[in-house]
Chains A and B, each alone.
Chain A
Amino acid sequence: QSVLTQPPSVSAAPGQKVTISCSGSSSNIGNNYVSWYQQLPGTAPKLLIYENQKRPSGIPDRFSGSKSGTSATLGITGLQTGDEADYYCAAWDSSLSVLVFGGGTKLTVL
């Protein structure tokens, strides 16, 4: 069981919008930055969102992040078939002094 909770899967049609939730606690999301990663099949993870809502250079503004309390959300608009991937949230856990990941969410673009 992962410390951060994500839905196992989400799906939506091309061009639509999807959100992926990530639920934690005060010791991780509540008091630390959340980051999001995209992992395409057979490849290393790629940073999508850092410090809750910031996008690295090269990441399109179709991807957005937000945080409220002990939960975070990744939003993807204008879905493309190329967005089909696994998405992970992560945060440092101050109580355990470990980095925790969500279990991952598989996005299917129907």
Chain B
Amino acid sequence: EVQLVESGGGLVQPGGSLRLSCGASGFISSTYDMHWVRQATGKGLEWVSAISTAGVTYYAGSVKGRFTISRENSKNSLYLQMNSLRDGDTAVYYCTRVGGSAFDVWGQGTMVTVSS
């Protein structure tokens, strides 16, 4: 079964750091572009970051310079290193796979809460 499972969310103070992980199963994640999308409670979907199969990275302006996306092919995993976290980063974070020029597989999400 094709599946994505996120982990690493939690409560962190403003200015703190957190590293999200996304484990893939049922497919080889290195052969797909992978993205992170977040959703604050009661709000819409917000794109966060992407990494191509060639390792090229892209970031939303709101996270550029603070977040780093990476992948570890040997572990079939995707990561999001989040530094200098702000209240506005509080959201459920989803990892998702690009298939057919769209997000065809989504994880269940992991909650990140930034609060003092």
Tell me if A37 and B104 are in contact (CB < 8 A): no
Tell me the bound Cα distance from A55 to B15 in angstroms: 42
Chain B interface extent, by class: 20 to 34
CB distance from A103 to the nearest CB of B (A): 5
* CB contact under 8 A between A101 and B45, given known A44-B106, A44-B108, A44-B109: yes
User: Is the CB of B60 closer than 8 A to any CB of chain A?
Assistant: yes
List of A residues within 8 angstroms of B46 by Cβ: 101
Which of B94, B101, B106, B107 meets A50, CB within 8 Å?
B101
B94-116 interface (Cβ within 8 A of A)? 94, 100-104, 106-109
A48: nearest chain-B partner, CB-CB = B102
Most buried by A among B45, B46, B59, B60: B45
Chain A interface extent, by class: 20 to 34
Tell me if A90 and B103 are in contact (CB < 8 A): yes
Tell me if A97 and B103 are in contact (CB < 8 A): no
User: Is the CB of B50 closer than 8 A to any CB of chain A?
Assistant: yes
Tell me if B45 and A50 are in contact (CB < 8 A): no
CB distance from A5 to the nearest CB of B (A): 12
List of A residues within 8 angstroms of B108 by Cβ: 44
B62-109 interface (Cβ within 8 A of A)? 94, 100-104, 106-109
List of B residues within 8 angstroms of A67 by Cβ: none
A–B pairs, 20, beta carbons within 8 Å: A33-B102, A35-B103, A37-B103, A39-B45, A44-B108, A45-B106, A47-B102, A49-B102, A50-B100, A51-B100, A51-B101, A86-B44, A88-B44, A90-B45, A98-B61, A99-B35, A101-B45, A101-B46, A101-B47, A104-B44
